[in-house]
Amino acid sequence: MSNAKSFVVAVAGATGAVGREMLKTLEARRFPVSRLVALASKRSAGQKLPWKGGEVTIEELGPKSFEGVDIALFSAGASVSREYGPIAAKSGAVVIDNSSAWRMDAECPLVVPEVNMSAAAKRPKGIIANPNCSTIQMVVALKPLHDAARIKHIIVSTYQATSGKGQAAVVDLMEQARAALDDKPITPSVFPGQIAFNVICDWKAGEADYSEEEWKMVHETRKIMGDDAIGVSPTTVRVPVVNGHSESIHVQFHRAMKAEEAKSLLRNAEGVVLMDDAYAPGKHPQPAHASGTDPVYVGRVRDDIAVPGALNLFVVADNLRKGAALNAVQIAERLFA
């Protein structure tokens, strides 16, 4: 470490949707950064990003980028993390990685500070993985309930924003929406079809007819909660929202839980805002309100009307913040600041 009070921080993928949020989050939370190293591909080298009232110049990511770096925050995709994560760790940085590269590696902790911060202490590879955005907001909402009544089965359907697929996906939504409104043909560039005024199930195939994104929710939930017996039945869907993921969650427990008990647990849960009177029109959790904010919003907490002792909830959070950048910075804060 450069010195005890402030840190050299590298952000790999600084020009991306998550990377830009990472810079804003470090600044807003006054993380003690003595020097910021903003890294991206050759395409962006020399460009500038706003940083602390001035600018930081983007450097091309390379094998020497991590010399003297204390904390390396990665959000440049899985192949970049696979190649450069170990290089950064070897040069002495603690790596916090947003990609899927290391999440299921037995030697890399998968951490959500409100849920399993203690796991971050054991990191033989020097790499801590940040979970998938949909998983993070779900486990923040469910962990207090799991602690009280142990979860048996989760059925979750997501309504995921386009920013979850990166900046280019947001541009695709905007261009498609413009074309649709102008009555012009829609030509998708990131999505496999029309996303404007439409919804698309996640398309990257995984095993057994479930998408990769769906399997992430299964495996990551079990690893973070430390309970391989939790059943997770996911359906992941992209919706024409710019930013902020929503989830409809049905949850069954080993002992019955009533909505009133769940609400009292969630009212005091770290990182959660319970929207208790959520049936007032327009007052339930929604991405338009959650975007640009830190909490995980939980609302529509209801006793299931068909399965006694089970609950239904609606959970919304900013996928770029709690789903990525904020979670990574919170890990760094708890480790160092």
Contact positions with ligand NAP (CB under 6 A) in 88-117: 98-99
* Six token digits for residue 184: 């012009």
Please say which residue, 67 or 147, places its beta carbon nearer to ligand NAP. Answer: 67
Q: Give the DSSP letter of residue 43.
A: G
- By CB under 6 A, residue 236 contacts ligand NAP: no
Residue 335 CB partners (closer than 8 Å, separation 6+) = 94, 120
DSSP reduced 3-state for 178: helix
133 is catalytic: yes
Select the residue interacting with ligand NAP from 19, 85, 285, 299 (CB under 6 A).
Answer: 19
Q: In angstroms, rounded to a whole number, what is the distance separating the alpha carbons of residues 37 and 30? A: 16
- By CB under 6 A, residue 285 contacts ligand NAP: no
Select the residue interacting with ligand NAP from 9, 10, 17, 225 (CB under 6 A).
Answer: 17
- By CB under 6 A, residue 76 contacts ligand NAP: yes
Residue 53 CB partners (closer than 8 Å, separation 6+) = none
Residues present in the chain in total: 337
**Least gap, CB of 112 to ligand NAP (angstroms):** 12
> What mask, x for binding ligand NAP by CB under 6 A, covers residues 164 to 183?
x-xxx---------------
Residue 63 CB partners (closer than 8 Å, separation 6+) = 84, 87
245 is catalytic: yes
DSSP reduced 3-state for 167: helix
- By CB under 6 A, residue 323 contacts ligand NAP: yes
- By CB under 6 A, residue 133 contacts ligand NAP: yes
Q: In angstroms, rounded to a whole number, what is the distance separating the alpha carbons of residues 49 and 38? A: 9
For the annotated catalytic residues, the residue numbers are 133, 245
Site residues (vs ligand NAP, CB under 6 A): 13-19, 40-41, 43-44, 61, 75-78, 80, 98-99, 133, 163-164, 166-168, 319-320, 323-324
